[in-house]
Amino acid sequence: MARVLLKIRGVLFPILLVFLAFPLSSVSAKSSPKARLPWLKGVRYWTAPDHTRVVLDVTGPGKTKVFKLSRPTRIVVDIEGMRVKAPGMERVGDGVVKEVRWAPKGRGVRVVLVIEGDLEHRFFYLKPFMGRTARYVVDVKKPEKVVVREKRQREEAAAKEKKERHFIIVIDPGHGGDDPGAIHNGIVEKRVVFSIAKKLANLLNSTTGFRAYLTRKGDYYLPLRKRVEIAHDYKADLFISIHCNAAPNRRARGAMVFALSNKGATDNVSRMLARIENTADMMEVEFTKKREVNYILLDLAQDYSRVESEKFARLALRSLVRFTGMPWGGVKKARFTVLKNPGIPSVLVEVGFLTNRREARLLRSGLFQTRVAIALADAVEDYFKDKMKPPSPEVMMARAQVGKSRGGEVSSKPVVARPSEGKAKVASGVGGPRVSTKRTGTRQRVAHRRWVIHVVRKGDTLWEISRKYGVKIRTILVANGLRKPTIYPGQRLVLPIARITTL
């Protein structure tokens, strides 16, 4: 009898479990869909020269419907199957987007962009990528006449500088806007490279014979092809894209400079970096069908830009190592989209590893950023020193007229100024070049500055270094950001050395 009861219990017990499971699964089925609904976490925006970008940070995708309403003109984004904690509003007021509002609507969320007039827009979804959350993006394009006007202004500025026989350098701070670049050790790449780019532009613009322009002048994202287009609008003689590096190996360190390769990357690291940098544009689609831009030029122009790019890359890396003390990471080749500039020598500079604690700490420092800028400015001058152009006939005639009206003499030779004494201040946006001139008979003597590195040895004092190089102690302190006259063996001091050139 006991055996029979045990058998019955063995049969009934599993059946009972099945019956008990039904209500639990039904309750779970009813509650799980809502629990799995994605959230709208926040709304951000950036204003670029040709569009305003609104980003909706979400935890996952929903079913979307995008349409326009009038009076006032609005772009409406309905996301079904999305949740938001509370209604909200973000005022923009940049001449393109007035404001952005969002609130729950039925079983989803409605986002409304109030815009200035009937403007074009594009809408797309970006999956999570390299630590960034999923997001919906709405780009509202400025009127075509505004875009055309800005392009014309770039071309007119280039024509003026070319007439003066100035070399034009376009500096590209990588990333920007909702693309922060690498984020490690509390440092955001887009901020570091923008600071270095501004310092470099200030240095070059303070030096005779050069004019520097930035691809972006604020915190907004530019498509890689747009950066290339800007370089061509300015008719650049050199294109420098500035980035910070990152690697899984926390010990990786050093500066690297990349030139374009037509065959592929020189190594796996270069191939990986190119893939990461190029992915930013691969995730997006183009606004509308733009006019055709012919990037396929003569092989001669392609070969010229590749050869010259490698030449400048070597100069830039040598200068970075000399001025900053960073290890030599090597001149690499890879197929970066931003380097595809036919006829324009172009390099991508990785100024250090944010994943390396020591280099991250250096890159956070304004003084170190200034040294990086000085190093690149020095490389630019070395690259162009044998390429200096005489002034155009129109400029020479104008100078001759000014000289005659003042009763003086006019030299037709261009003055080639090296980095000046005020270069560290200029890099920070303060001060300017100090170039003194003296006449000896019919010739002119020009005093300019050349930056050198002095590695402090045991027993060195600032007074001895000052006498050796003919530089004031105060100048050494200012150039190196020193508050106290205390130095230590192995320390690298940047020194502006005076030189006299007779023209």
Q: What is the CATH number of the domain that holds 475?
A: 3.10.350.10
Residue 476 inside a domain? The answer is yes
Residues 196 and 242 in one domain: yes
Residues 104 and 177 in one domain: no
| Residue whose tokens read 């999956």 | 127
Cβ distance 175 to 189 under 8 Å? yes
What are φ and ψ of residue 284, in 5° steps? -110, 170
Residues 203 and 105 in one domain: no
Please tell me the pTM assigned to this model: 0.68
Based on C-alpha coordinates, what's the Rg of the chain?
30
Residues 167 and 186 in one domain: yes
Residue 459 inside a domain? The answer is yes
Residues 484 and 355 in one domain: no
Question: What is the number of other CB atoms lying within 10 angstroms of the CB of residue 136?
Answer: 23
User: Residue 471, class by beta-carbon neighbours within 10 Å (0-12 exposed, 13-18 middle, 19+ buried)?
Assistant: buried
Quote the number of domains for the chain. Answer: 3
Residue 308 inside a domain? The answer is yes
Residue 30 inside a domain? The answer is no
CATH number, domain with residue 220:
3.40.630.40
Cβ distance 496 to 474 under 8 Å? no
Residues 430 and 343 in one domain: no
Residue 17 inside a domain? The answer is no
**Per-residue pLDDT in tens (0 to 9) along the chain, 503 residues:** 555 444 545 555 555 444 444 444 444 444 455 568 899 999 999 999 889 999 999 999 999 999 999 999 999 999 999 999 999 999 999 999 999 999 999 999 999 999 998 999 999 999 887 778 899 999 999 988 888 888 899 989 888 888 788 899 999 999 999 889 999 988 999 999 999 999 999 889 888 889 999 999 999 988 888 888 899 899 999 999 999 999 889 999 999 998 876 654 444 444 444 454 445 544 443 333 333 333 333 344 566 678 888 999 999 999 999 888 888 888 887 666 656 666 789 899 999 999 999 999 999 998 899 889 989 998 998 899 877 654 455 544 554 554 444 444 333 333 333 433 345 444 544 333 333 334 444 443 333 456 788 889 998 988 888 888 888 787 788 778 787 888 989 888 888 765 443 33
Cα 425 vs. chain centroid, distance in angstroms?
Answer: 22
Amino acid at 204: L
**How far is it, in rounded angstroms, from Cα 105 to Cα 108?**
5
Among 372, 332, 349, 347, residue whose Cα is nearest residue 231: 347
Residues 136 and 151 in one domain: no
Residues 231 and 377 in one domain: yes
Residues 46 and 174 in one domain: no
* pLDDT score, position 482: 81
Cβ distance 416 to 166 under 8 Å? no
Cβ distance 429 to 422 under 8 Å? no
Last residue of a domain, one of 142, 159, 189: 142
* pLDDT score, position 219: 94
Residues 180 and 227 in one domain: yes
Write out the residue range of the structural domain in which residue 477 sits: 418-502
Among 259, 216, 492, residue whose Cα is nearest residue 383: 259
Q: Report the interhelical angle of 299-324 vs 366-384 (nearest 10°).
A: 140
Residue 305 inside a domain? The answer is yes
Residue 15 inside a domain? The answer is no
CATH number, domain with residue 99:
2.60.40.3500
Residues 124 and 151 in one domain: no
